[in-house]
């Protein structure tokens, strides 16, 4: 299975990690050019 997670904040990264743990191929997409101090 494949998934695209929109947003690299806390929730997006947690979801991506959990999906990957369950065997999914995950692509995380974020609008910000670099990650900020809180992950977004």
Residue spans of the domains in the chain: they are 1-34
Cα 8 → chain centroid:
5
3 state DSSP class of 29: strand
pLDDT reported for residue 5: 97
pLDDT reported for residue 10: 94
Q: Per residue of the chain (40 residues), give pLDDT as tens.
A: 999 999 989 999 999 999 999 999 999 998 877 666 765 5
E-strand ranges in the chain read 2-6, 25-29
* Confidence (pTM): 0.74
């Amino acid at each position: 299975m494949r998934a695209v997670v929109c947003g690299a904040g806390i929730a997006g990264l947690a979801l991506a990690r959990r999906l990957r743990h369950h065997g999914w191929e995950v692509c995380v997409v974020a609008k910000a050019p670099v990650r900020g101090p809180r992950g977004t």
